[in-house]
Amino acid sequence: MLSGPPVNYQTYWKGWETTEEKEKALLDKIEALLANMCYKRYAMKGDFAVWQKPYDNSCYEERKPETYPPVCDDAIEPDAAWYVKLK
């Protein structure tokens, strides 16, 4: 979940000392990164945006090797959620 800039930039950008184009570009970058991570936008309403992690690993397996960010190496269990050290 993301709340605040750049979500709902169309309403608030003037108060952020920036431009509408810069805030749109920032939101586009965030959405592209999350799409590369196989997350799908679940909802965007008001000042909140929520993305959903995929249910399985099929999206990760279809990614091109040069896609950023890279997928973790095979030594890490892809479904592990707890007590996994960040790299």
List, for residues 1-21, the tens digit of each pLDDT value.
777 777 877 777 777 778 888
Q: Determine the 3-state secondary structure of 45 from DSSP.
A: strand
Strand partners, 49: 2, 44
| pTM of the predicted model as reported, rounded to 2 decimal places | 0.72
The tokens of 69 are what? 């960010």
- Ordered by start, the domain boundaries in the chain are 2-62
- The stretches in the chain having pLDDT less than 50 are none
Radius of gyration of the chain (CA): 16
Check: CB of residue 19 under 8 Å from CB of residue 57.
no
